[in-house]
Structure 1
């Protein structure tokens, strides 16, 4: 496989935005189908995939997340004063590294993992990792969660990380949806724009990927949060790391034997920036309506490897598959996997 690269002219999205068209800025996660849709896509892309076993394990995690989210217990949420203060300061309302986590999230995580164990009888390695996490104390789990939410690789248990991250994702999705529900008819209140457009406006986390979504007015690009799964609008041909608009290219995997003229356009591409040297993948619903940012990001690891070999650094992270040196004392807080 090779990387095909293409620059883009101004898209209809940029033209519409510049003309004053009002694009919905924020799309909050939908608890009823967020993780079930992810599970379905993971099982679909796992077919004949080199990472089949891992993708199916990720699908099992997504299933457990869906079940847990449907009956999440009551947890502490920010009050009106805290929400207003965050909005005035241009900060996320539920900041991942700073939010005082409710102990209930660990109870939900343990229940999730216990529920997964019966299906792991034929997956010895996965079952061992689950049992190891269940044997951790609450304090040890919290320490691992702190490292995950602060993007610290030093001391992070790389095998346990996806499971602990799965519990954190369910917790943050629940909080975002619960806060929104408390504000009634407004679909996104009290969340809105923050001072850092490169991170999630709800929890301040890095993105996993972006997705071009189709609606009645056209196709628009949203960036998908790695933690709470909120999606916020960022126009295309704009770097999600440095916010520059120069030197933006789209790179994808193409079979060597297929000419560029005859090749079908890939639904998954890497948007690279020559100015800052970062990239983030984009999944395109106009080319495949069932793409899902987390699932398709996992299934396109080869694209990450080739773009990284070309000298680009990822802006973002997929909490289901982390890369890094757990022995290294220092990491780049702006990096991903």
Structure 2
């Protein structure tokens, strides 16, 4: 039962404090992403791929609705708090074997979906076969996409990552924000330790005007001061770039100290911006930044290159 604050307690609250994190919502996180992907796909040069990813995200939404994975035990949370580390750190996390059941559900959704292109359905069917016959290889691919190193099958990776996103997003939804360590490693998700895909300057309520980095894995967002490199924390050489004639709400935030960039989206320019979807749909900006000599600080969870690319 939620306790009602007394008049004195309400007056004592710090109404100027910046909310540190924005936690994902079970009913909205993937539903919003799928809707945005379909909106961006209209007339887009890679609209077919955006639509395919929307089908995958639809499946994520359906699977997340009934997901209930084992979370962090109190001892792990206390250790994370003591050492300032993410309590659900993806790298090295002892995944419950049932996570492959999430992957199976996603793949079955795609394999039986007439809206999914034949090639993607073939990949889904092959992954279903490998789940039964090559479980170790699937676990190794999961480790690789979570940053443990090793070859990555670029065609299969979005689907494996999709299941891992459901796993960690479920954990994030049920994690009490008050149990997060007071400090966390710079540039990493304070909950799972993954890299951000992009950042968003939010509008509305307590988040208005603040910039939040968006986790590629668990969908948690955490505050970072604007005009600060999200990769190396430099503040002196940060610059902003956009595509001539392109959307006003999309820019690349570059840093001449580390020569990397991440995209930053402005909700005041486009209320419906969604970091994963909008990052995926703005590949032209990636090309321009590459030609200018900057490297992406991190990738997009729905787009992977193979180990030989």
Q: Confirm whether residue 166 of structure 1 aligns to residue 162 of structure 2.
A: yes
1:183 corresponds to: none
Q: Tell me, yes or no, if structure 1 residue 47 matches structure 2 residue 42.
A: yes
- As a proportion of its length, which structure holds more helix? 2
CA distance in 2, matches of 1:295, 1:121: 19
CA–CA distance in structure 2, aligned partners of residues 295 and 200 of structure 1: 19
1:145–1:165 Cα contact (<8 Å) kept: yes
Residue 174 of structure 2: aligned partner: 178
**Aligned equivalents of 2:83 and 2:114: distance in 1?**
46
Q: Is the 8 A contact 1:120 1:126 kept in 2?
A: no
Distance 1:191 1:101 in 2: 20
C-alpha separation in 2, matches of 1:300 and 1:94:
30
Which residue does the alignment assign to 1:334?
none
Q: Distance in 2 between matches of 1:206 and 1:193?
A: 19
Shift of 1:70: 0.3
Given that residues 244 and 275 in structure 1 are in contact (C-alpha distance below 8 angstroms), is that contact kept between their aligned partners in structure 2? yes
Equivalence for 2:10: none
Measure, in 2, the Cα distance between the counterparts of 1:306 and 1:132. Answer: 35
Give the total of aligned pairs: 291
**1:6 aligned residue:** none
- Does the residue aligned with 1:179 lie in a helix, a strand or coil? coil
Q: TM-score, normalised by structure 2?
A: 0.90
Q: 2:280 aligns with which of 298, 309, 314?
A: 298
1:160-206 Cα shifts (integer Å, max 9, x gaps):
000000000000001111233xxxxxxx2212444312010000001
Map 1:224-235; keep pairs closer than 5 Å.
Answer: 224-235=214-225
Q: Judge conservation of contact 1:92–1:194 (CA < 8 Å) in 2.
A: no
The residue number in structure 2 matching 1:216 is 205
Say whether residues 1:131 and 2:125 are aligned partners: yes
Higher relative contact order (CA 8 A, sep 6+): 1
Matched position secondary structure for 1:155:
coil
Q: Which residue is 2:226 aligned to? A: 236
Partner of 2:26: 31
Superposed CA RMSD: 1.7
Q: Does 1:112 align with 2:101?
A: no
Runs (4+) off by over 3 Å? 192-195
Separation in 2, partners of 1:146, 1:157: 12
> d(CA) in 1 for partners of 2:33 and 2:187?
23
- How much has 1:265 moved relative to structure 2? 6.2
Q: Helix, strand or coil for the counterpart of 2:178?
A: coil
Give CA deviations for 1:145-174 in whole Å, capped at 9, x if unaligned. Answer: 01110163x421110000000000000001
Aligned partner of 2:146 among 149, 152, 173: 149
Alignment of 1:225-264 (within 5 A): 225-255=215-245
Change (3 A) 1:122 1:288: closer
Q: 1:311: how far off? A: 0.8
Q: Which runs of 5+ in 2 are unaligned?
A: 1-14
The one-character-per-residue Cα deviations of 1:198-229 (angstroms, maximum 9, x if unpaired) are 01000000110001101336411000000001
- In the TM superposition, residue 80 of structure 1 has moved relative to its aligned partner by 1.4
In structure 1, what is the equivalent of residue 12 of structure 2?
none
3-state secondary structure, aligned to 2:222: strand
Q: CA deviation at 1:119?
A: 1.7
What are the ranges of 5 or more consecutive residues in structure 1 without an aligned counterpart?
A: 1-19, 181-187, 256-263, 329-337
